[in-house]
Chain A
Amino acid sequence: MDRHTIDGHIEAALRGFIAENLLFSEQGFPYPDDVSLLRERIIDSLGVVELAAFVGQRFGVRVEQTEVRPENFDSIAKLAAFVRRKQSGVRPEAAHPA
């Protein structure tokens, strides 16, 4: 677990990944964290798969296919909350580092 995650900057990492890999944007992620990624057409189904793989690798959590749903993945805010829930459940020590 790196400091990026521990310090609560999950949202920044997600914004950076989406901007670079799904929007192909050099201007960053120009939306608020609660905007619907699906409704605003920011990601498509392939983007969801890439995002799920990124979350698993970057934050060290196991993402089940049944968890790849709009209530977990449809905004930066929802996804960051999902990652924090997974981290606290899977690795309790990561949520409260010494």
Chain B
Amino acid sequence: MIRFSTNVIDIDSGAETDRIVAFLQRNVRREMKRRGAVVGISGGIDSAVVLALSVRAFGARNVTAVMMPDRDSDPISERLARALAARYGVEPLLEDITAALEGFDCYRRRDDAIRRVFPEFDAAKGYKSKIVLPQDLLEAGTFNVYSVTVVAPDGREETRPLGAREMLEITAASNLKQRSRMSVLYFHAEARQFAVIGTSNKNEHAQGFFVKHGDGGVDIQAIAHLFKTQVYQLSRHLDVPVSIQQRTPTTDTYSAPCDQQEFFFRLPFATLDPIWFARENRIPVPEVARGMGLPEVQVQRVYDDIAGKQSTTEYLRLSPPILDPAKPAYA
């Protein structure tokens, strides 16, 4: 029986690095018959760790790092990504996907949906937008119902609830970004006979914070078994630039600054991850509550939120079902 404490998810970063490197080498080289790795680098902690692991697994000359900003990306992301690539001796490629997204009508489709909620919204005049979840998960049981926040050119912010149609259209348009990036990564992978290495962590993969056939469209997942706080532990062992370690995790998808907590997770990772670990290991709620210094009802809300997100995003992780090929309906 595991005894719960807030550091229950601490890992042996050296041993875990060796395990992941061996996993990548075995699968990419032996199983997939690919020579190296393509990694999309965003300037965030997850892709930084995956790039570092890939360089350890295949050597810098067998790793291609690709930066894929669009017009909504924070310029800091590219600066951090360049610093990251330099740290590991990889020459980064820049692929601005703005023109591709304009070709898909991504921005117009998204902004038309936002304008149905905020008629005054006009990106050309400097309005910015993001979508957010309620941030009171511990304090109240709430549904994961999204709102849209618009930031006016003078800095005023206003948030309004999203209807189902608007939510679907904004999501579908925004997902064109991740799917465009996936296409660019596969171009570079196929041109070099490399594999695309996924950068989703466990929080993203298991709770459905990824785009099916977008950032979820990869050949192998390097860190999808690790909680975000464990990814930070690995980043220190792998000597990821401190500026990336200290950056607040961001979606970098919407034009207004939007961190991952307000967009999806609703809790700091330092709170979420130990509670999630406890839930997976069937540690009783009262013991977790004592260890976290939280009321039992709040721990239960986190348990329920995790279960709800895992269940409602199962479709994202589902491979296309195929009928039994041994039993076709012969004439």
Return the CB mask of A21-65 against B: 1 if under 8 Å, else 0. 000000000000000001101001110111001000000000001
**B94 close to A (CB within 8 Å):** no
Does A46 contact B168, Cβ atoms closer than 8 Å?
yes
Is B161 in the interface zone, CB < 8 Å from A?
A: yes
From B141, B161, B167, B312, A69 is in contact (CB under 8 Å) with B141
Interface size of A as a range: 10 to 19
Residues of A within 8 A of B261 (CB): none
Residue with the highest number of chain A CB atoms closer than 10 Å, among B141, B161, B164: B164
Which of A39, A53, A65, A73 lies in contact with B164, CB distance below 8 A? A53
Chain A's closest residue to B147 (CB) is A65
Is the C-beta of B271 less than 8 angstroms from some C-beta in chain A?
A: no
Report whether B304 and A39 are in contact in the complex, using a CB–CB cutoff of 8 Å: yes
Q: A39-B304, A41-B312 are in contact. Are A70 and B143 (CB under 8 A)?
A: yes
Q: Which of B143, B162, B163, B168 contacts A73 (CB 8 A)?
A: B143
CB neighbours (8 Å) of B304 from chain A are: 38-39
With A44-B312, A45-B145, A49-B145 as contacts: A69 and B164 at CB distance below 8 Å: no
**A49 and B167 within 8 A (CB):** yes
In the complex formed, the residue of B with least CB distance to A48 is B143
Distance in Å: Cβ of A70 to nearest Cβ of chain B: 5
The answer to the question of B75 belonging to the interface, with a C-beta cut-off of 8 Å to chain A, is: no
CB distance from A78 to the nearest CB of B (A): 12
Most buried by A among B140, B142, B167: B142
- Decide if A69 touches B143 in the complex (CB within 8 Å): yes
| Given A41-B311, A45-B146: A70 and B164 interface contact (C-beta under 8 Å) | no
> Which residues of A sit under 8 angstroms from B233, Cβ to Cβ?
none
B interface residue numbers (CB < 8 A to A): 140-147, 161-164, 167-168, 304, 308, 311-312
Known A45-B146, A49-B162, A53-B164; 5 more pairs at CB < 8 Å: A39-B304, A49-B145, A53-B163, A69-B142, A69-B143
